[in-house]
Amino acid sequence: MFDFRTLEEDKKVLYSTDYYSGEYNHEFYIKKAIDDGSNKPKFYIRAYSRINGELVPQGYIYFYLDYENKTSDFIGVKVLEDFRNLNIGSLLIASWIDLCLNNGFDILGLNKKQRKPFLLYMLKTYGFDVKNKKMYDKRDDIITLCKNTDKEDLSKILIFKSPKHEFNFKHTNIYKSDNYVIRHDYKGLIMLDHIILPLQDSIVNPVEYKLQDYEIAKLKTQMVLSRHKK
């Protein structure tokens, strides 16, 4: 068990040295953010590697914890550009899920401001989803995620059901800062999944992603952790 309450604000504590990605051996630290006055303190799991004698940051995942209700809400994950395509993001997600479930935080959700389509897709592979799956059939703000049949093309391909939501997404910083490509046909594509961005129609029909399938979460988490185990 890890005692989150004993952590001092803005100080990191070594959590694990058990994992690696590519040529890098990781050191994972847990850090508590400075109090923002909420009832859900914010924490980070930060990934580092020792390179030429220096502790070099590689990425992090950050999340809220509610001590009383034993819940945790995913906020986001970031991998620094020099260390991408090593599955560090997925390793961080697996580490967060493993940390929470092993410490009694059994209700896991997503921050309602989550706006990254392929990050939602990754979380769905860990068992997160909307409670009512019929939403995928009825709503007009569905986004279909695809990849190219050419394995060298790493574009994140989106097909929008609604022109309005396509227009809105094209004007976001998320779209402009990543390798998203919007298509209107499926030629040469492999369909991955459907997602709904939680804030696209939040007033009429709020969308809330939570961990729904604990068996998938445990299996995928252990698979990813085992793959990166030293």
Q: What CATH number was assigned to the domain covering residues 4-128+209-228?
A: 3.40.630
Q: Which residues contact 30 (CB under 8 A, 6 or more apart)?
A: 2, 4, 7, 12, 13, 15, 43, 44, 45, 46, 99
Q: Where are the beta strands (DSSP E) in the chain?
A: 12-16, 20-21, 24-32, 42-51, 54-66, 71-79, 107-110, 128-130, 142-148, 156-160, 180-182, 189-196, 209-211
Read off the pTM.
Answer: 0.92
Per-residue model confidence (pLDDT) at position 207: 84
pLDDT in tens, the chain (230 residues): 788 888 999 999 999 999 999 999 999 999 999 887 766 799 999 999 999 999 999 999 999 999 889 999 999 999 999 999 999 999 999 999 999 999 999 999 998 778 899 999 999 999 999 999 998 988 888 999 999 999 999 999 999 999 999 999 999 999 998 899 999 999 999 999 999 987 655 556 668 899 999 999 999 999 999 999 99
Integer Cα distance of 145 and 138 in angstroms: 17
Per-residue model confidence (pLDDT) at position 51: 96
Backbone angles phi and psi of 135, in degrees to 5: -60, -30
Per-residue model confidence (pLDDT) at position 39: 65
Per-residue model confidence (pLDDT) at position 200: 59
Per-residue model confidence (pLDDT) at position 204: 60
Three-state DSSP class for 8? coil
- Give the residue range(s) of CATH 3.40.630 domains in the chain: 4-128+209-228
